[in-house]
């Protein structure tokens, strides 16, 4: 029987130790790696496939549910948390199971037995995204298809972002960081903490300003070096 490869995304060392110990006791599970935040897990999953993610809700930098929403081709996910109020949202996102801490081994075993070994054979999570030329974003409670080729720039507006395209502008409730994770790095460049621009829409730039489709966008002090790759 092939083993189900899995990762742990958890910032509490004790919780990681408990999960790793449980995984070692289950013959059909194989622990690949553990990560203290979702950003590190995201980087790992760009090039490595996994069959199962043990995911905590309250993580630094990017929360568990927000991370889950960025996965365009998710493997099986088992939520591990001390907070039961996220159960409904978790199941809306098609998680396999929802484990409340402290987690008993018997309950852990029930959860992992729901995961089919076939889930382990999926391609890396971001491979499909690189082949697509669009994303769907929630705009006024609707999922709206937005082509990468039409995006000019993205601007942060507190808890919202503005997506300026060649046709119109959209407002979506998410952060620029979350949006950046959804965009192909080869097509888009973060030039300011509040701005992401489409590389093929750049007309010109200086050390301070970048011109994109006739719009002047400031270049952040910490992002000037990133323009050298242009």
Model confidence over 65-109: pLDDT tens digits? 788 877 766 689 999 988 765 544 444 557 888 888 899 999 999
Q: Which residues 6+ apart lie within 8 Å of 228 measured at CB?
A: none
Q: For residue 62, what pLDDT band results from cuts at 50, 70 and 90? A: confident
Q: Give span(s): CATH 2.40.50.1020, the chain.
A: 132-229
132-229 has which CATH code?
2.40.50.1020
- Given a cut of 50, whether residue 9 has pLDDT beyond it is yes
Query: Model confidence over 165-206: pLDDT tens digits?
Result: 999 999 999 888 888 878 887 788 888 989 999 989 999 988
Q: For residue 228, what pLDDT band results from cuts at 50, 70 and 90? A: low
Check: CB of residue 163 under 8 Å from CB of residue 198: no
Main-chain phi, psi angles of 178, to 5 degrees:
-65, -40
Q: What is the CA radius of gyration of the chain?
A: 20
- Report the CATH superfamily, name and number, of domain 4-127: Response regulator (3.40.50.2300)
Q: Give span(s): CATH 3.40.50.2300, the chain.
A: 4-127
In whole angstroms, give the CA distance from residue 183 to residue 151. 10
Query: Model confidence over 41-57: pLDDT tens digits?
Result: 988 888 888 999 999 98
Q: Give residue 113's pLDDT.
A: 92
3-state secondary structure 36-103: CCHHHHHHHHCCCCCCEEEEECCCCCCCHHHHHHHCCCCCEEEEEECCHHHHHHHHHCCCCEEEECCC
**50-51-52 Cα angle (round to 5):** 100
pTM of the model: 0.51
């Amino acid at each position: 029987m092939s083993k189900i490869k899995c990762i742990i995304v958890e910032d509490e060392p004790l919780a990681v130790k408990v999960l790793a110990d449980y995984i070692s006791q289950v013959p059909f599970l194989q622990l690949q790696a553990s990560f203290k935040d979702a950003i590190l897990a995201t980087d790992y999953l760009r090039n490595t496939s996994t069959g199962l993610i043990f995911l905590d809700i309250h993580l630094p930098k990017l929360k568990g549910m927000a991370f889950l929403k960025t996965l365009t081709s998710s493997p099986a996910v088992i939520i591990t948390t001390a907070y039961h109020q996220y159960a409904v949202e978790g199941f809306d996102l098609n998680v396999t199971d929802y484990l409340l801490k402290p987690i008993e081994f018997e309950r852990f075993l029930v959860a992992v037995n729901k995961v089919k070994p076939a889930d382990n054979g999926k391609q890396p999570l971001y491979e499909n995204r690189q082949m697509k030329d669009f994303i769907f974003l929630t705009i006024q409670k609707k999922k709206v298809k937005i082509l990468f080729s039409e995006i000019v720039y993205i601007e942060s507006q507190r808890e919202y972002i503005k997506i300026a395209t060649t046709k119109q502008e959209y407002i979506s409730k998410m952060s620029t960081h979350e949006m950046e994770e959804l965009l192909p790095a080869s097509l888009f460049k973060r030039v300011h903490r509040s701005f992401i621009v489409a590389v093929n829409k750049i007309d010109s730039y200086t050390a301070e300003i970048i011109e994109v489709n006739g719009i002047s966008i400031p270049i952040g002090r910490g992002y000037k070096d990133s323009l050298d790759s242009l």
